[in-house]
Amino acid sequence: MTRLADETMARLPADVALPTYDRMQPAGIVHLGTGAFHRAHQACFFDALMAAGHGGWMIQGASLRSPAVAHQMNPQDGLFTVLVRDGGEERLQVVGSVRGVLVAPDDPSALVSALAAPEVALVTLTVTEKGYCLDPATGALRMDDPAVAADIADLSAPRTAPGFLVAGLAARRAAGLAPYTVLSCDNLPDNGERTRAAVLALAVAVDEALAGWIEREVAFPSSMVDRIVPATTDDDLDNFESATGLRDEALVKTEPFTQWVVEDRFCNRRPPLEQFGVQMTRDVAGWEKAKLRLLNGAHSAIAYLGGLAGHRYVHQAMAAPGFDRLIETLWDEAQATLVPVDGFDPAVYRRQLKLRFANGALQHRTHQIAMDGSQKLPQRWLGTIRDYRRAGYGVPAALTLALAGWMHWQSGRGDGGVGHRVDDPLAVETGAALARAAGDRAAEVRSLLAIETIFARDLAADEPFVAHLIGDYCRIVETSAAAAIAAFGATDLVRA
């Protein structure tokens, strides 16, 4: 088995695009969380930038938790293939923009040194929602999180993303270097502002003067990122190897669509991303909200309801009875809460989303999207539900059914009693909330709604909404998710 690497890549078939630029040029970027999404998204934009002759934008990758990605990428000199799949069509491209991956828990100071390198102008992050250590309901840094507390007590070997950002900035300040721009690329609303607040909260607890410097000098632009990147499977790796003769353990598969909207507020050198399809704008909030509520909101509904009903992939759920009506209704509900955004047409976006979700060649697993629901629900569903209720539109039927689905998902049993793993940092809490209610369905709903770190306090007090939610929950548990979805498609909606 020969691995993809600088030395071997020329052996790939001629139709596989290869990086042609100098990969030894300086790394202007450190990226935290070099998972599949980063490789299929930001890394591709920087690859295009360097291919067009803009120097100094190599990426030093880092993993904050497991060494798995480093084992995939480092033996390959950081190289990986992007496999773009649409129906029967496939395109392969080797991306060269990532230099390699540091494993933070193995050597935290190596990552702090990388952050403090003079050539670094930008730090990007895809550490997932939970990687910011925020309270999902309020968005504030969780000072009680053991890893955050450890970083505050001793920042010489950080453990969290905010901890590394602060330690890197402290090292730059001590060395008289300009700070880097911090660019969050995770699916969080106001991701720049949230990251800034988390970094400042941690910095204040460590060193007030440092916190003041960060507040004055560091830019935390927000960004909206969009590309569907299903987890790579062993079959994908084997197929690539038999087609090309090389093994690529870091291969990522994705769709043709890609979008990046970035707030144009940098405190250090800024790459000319606008020349490579990135939308640079003053205001990202509207884009982010629309994407979270329409795309991610629908995704999570498909994940829980589709997952309960036994659909393995997104495209299969979308083809099942009732789903189209459910998702269209969810989009109506979400759209009713959005303010117009210059250049964003919800009707076009919805049509595009339908086609993207129907792309069967992606094999996007419902269980992958179902992960970490407690961290995702507030920005994907709960904001919409609140806005919708506040505007006096009644109970949003699709989102309420979806939430009932999430609640039943937490039991670890789907339609017909089929078991699944609840992969969520709050799985113990949600399991305990269900157990406390001891089989009384209304009490189960109320017990889950009482988890303030997800739901705050207001939703549990909204009786018409809770009554509707309990009704949906009983229907799912007593019949099935599949039946509830099919009925949703068949009946006219009654709004409270």
Cβ closest to ligand CS2, residue 38 vs residue 173: 38
Q: Could you give the CA distance from residue 254 to residue 310 in angstroms, rounded to a whole number?
A: 23
Closest residue to ligand CS2 using C-beta atoms? 299
Query: Which residues are 90's β-sheet partners?
Result: 85
Instruction: Report 358-417 residues binding ligand CS2 (CB under 6 A).
Output: 368-369
Q: Could you give the CA distance from residue 469 to residue 454 in angstroms, rounded to a whole number?
A: 16
Q: Find the shortest distance in angstroms from Cβ 299 to ligand CS2.
A: 4
Q: Which stretch binds ligand CS2 (CB under 6 A): 23-31, 196-204, 291-299, 407-415?
A: 291-299
Q: Which stretch binds ligand CS2 (CB under 6 A): 295-303, 408-416, 440-448, 451-459?
A: 295-303
Cβ closest to ligand CS2, residue 254 vs residue 430: 254
Q: Find the shortest distance in angstroms from Cβ 334 to ligand CS2.
A: 14
Q: Find the shortest distance in angstroms from Cβ 71 to ligand CS2.
A: 23
CB 59, CB 46: distance < 8 Å: yes
Site string for ligand CS2, 296-335 (x = CB under 6 A): x--x------------------------------------
If 0-12 CB within 10 Å is exposed, 13-18 middle and 19+ buried, where does residue 338 land? middle
Q: Find the shortest distance in angstroms from Cβ 424 to ligand CS2.
A: 12
Give DSSP secondary structure letters for 423-485: --TTHHHHHHHHHHTTT-HHHHHHHHHT-HHHHTTTGGG-HHHHHHHHHHHHHHHHT-HHHHH
Q: Could you give the CA distance from residue 489 to residue 326 in angstroms, rounded to a whole number?
A: 6
Q: Which stretch binds ligand CS2 (CB under 6 A): 108-116, 294-302, 390-398, 404-412?
A: 294-302
Instruction: Report 201-230 residues binding ligand CS2 (CB under 6 A).
Output: 226-228
Cβ closest to ligand CS2, residue 148 vs residue 228: 228
Instruction: Report 151-190 residues binding ligand CS2 (CB under 6 A).
Output: 187
Q: Is 258 in the site for ligand CS2 (CB under 6 A)?
A: no
Q: How many beta carbons lie within 10 A of that of residue 343, not counting itself?
A: 10
If 0-12 CB within 10 Å is exposed, 13-18 middle and 19+ buried, where does residue 444 land? buried
Cβ closest to ligand CS2, residue 299 vs residue 315: 299
Cβ closest to ligand CS2, residue 165 vs residue 228: 228
Q: Is 337 left (phi over 0), alpha (psi -120 to 50) or beta?
A: alpha
Q: Find the shortest distance in angstroms from Cβ 259 to ligand CS2.
A: 8
Reference 357, options 317, 297, 306, 399; nearest CA is 317
Contacts with ligand CS2 by CB under 6 A lie at 187, 226-228, 295-296, 299, 368-369
